[in-house]
A and B are shown apart, each in its own frame.
Chain A
């Protein structure tokens, strides 16, 4: 839920990166963190297992700039992708303003993408949100790998509502900021309609 503070002239929004295990959600955040000036972002908090898999969430606040005298801050979260972390994954979606679905483009991960997307829609519904009405971007990640499914096939399978589809290689940063920009723009546009 967008939080507007008239005293500190701030607008805070929450964006969640969702997707199957090892699809690159944390890598997206890590790249944004590494490429952003220190004054525009806070710490990157990772609640991860010893094997560096997300256990609960990653979190990073990012300030984009000022509009109409209000600082716009985005709180970026990832969810744990592994299937058995379902309970904690659902918690992160509470109060979400925009979602990025990070799909793993590799052929062998197609079922995991479909399962995770279905799981996203279901978990959103438990909070009374509809994916069809929420700012949303589909990122097709890992486009640099040899065994990827062609973009149009992936889009046909995973695109839900004509949302922006962005090809990415999160490990090198390709498409990472385009994805963030696409979802942030939709969130701000929603505020216009509020």
Chain B
């Protein structure tokens, strides 16, 4: 997947809007393979890379359970804690993850996430097209990379 700078800023703006509208602590967009795409909100010392990987694992596992009982997937997942909670919404090949506390409610987060999901789906349909075009035009940053450049990553500094 290739995310161009303009798309990234658009996504960040959408996440900022969701965070505000849902009074959430943090909003994270994650690829289904576990890669973090964008994040907005009160990060603190939260390890969002691990959060992204675990969210993808979580969705993959519940998706597996869904298929066992004849469903395609569960489009939303919610985990409610004593103080902090997580809501995950599956939008095509990305996951919208909202972390919220008692300043918000699950109902509000669900509603706002659903409202945004249509717009995010459109954005990612565009990203899919751009990614395919970048591959077809050989315009990816690693095209023509030399063996020396690759080796330089593995040489001691």
Chain A positions within 8 Å of B, measured between CB atoms, are 1-8, 11-12, 14, 42-43, 45, 47, 56-57, 59, 61, 64-65, 67-70, 72, 75, 77, 87-88, 91-92, 94-95, 181, 184-185, 188-189, 191-192, 194
Complex A-B, nearest 7 residue pairs according to Cβ-Cβ distance, in ascending order: A95-B33, A7-B8, A191-B142, A91-B60, A3-B35, A7-B5, A65-B153
- Beta-carbon nearest neighbor of A45 in chain B: B50
> Knowing that A56-B57, A95-B34 are A-B contacts, what are 12 other residue pairs whose CB atoms are under 8 Å apart, sorted by A's residue number?
A4-B140, A7-B5, A7-B8, A11-B141, A12-B35, A43-B49, A47-B57, A75-B34, A88-B61, A188-B150, A191-B145, A192-B144
Q: How far apart sit A191 and B138, CA to CA, in the bound complex (Å)?
A: 10
Q: How many chain B residues touch A (Cβ–Cβ < 8 Å)?
A: 37
Distance of A123 from chain B, by nearest CB (Å): 13
The A interface, classified by DSSP as helix, strand, loop or mixed, is mixed
Q: Are A67 and B4 in contact (CB under 8 A)?
A: no
Q: Are A189 and B3 in contact (CB under 8 A)?
A: no
Interface positions, chain B 1-58, Cβ under 8 Å from A, are: 1-5, 8-9, 31-35, 37, 47, 49-50, 53-54, 57
The B interface, classified by DSSP as helix, strand, loop or mixed, is mixed
Chain B positions within 8 Å of A, measured between CB atoms, are 1-5, 8-9, 31-35, 37, 47, 49-50, 53-54, 57, 60-61, 63-64, 135, 138, 140-145, 149-154
- Beta-carbon nearest neighbor of B140 in chain A: A194
Q: Are A67 and B33 in contact (CB under 8 A)?
A: no
Given contacts A6-B8, A14-B34, A42-B50, contact A94 B142 (CB under 8 A): no
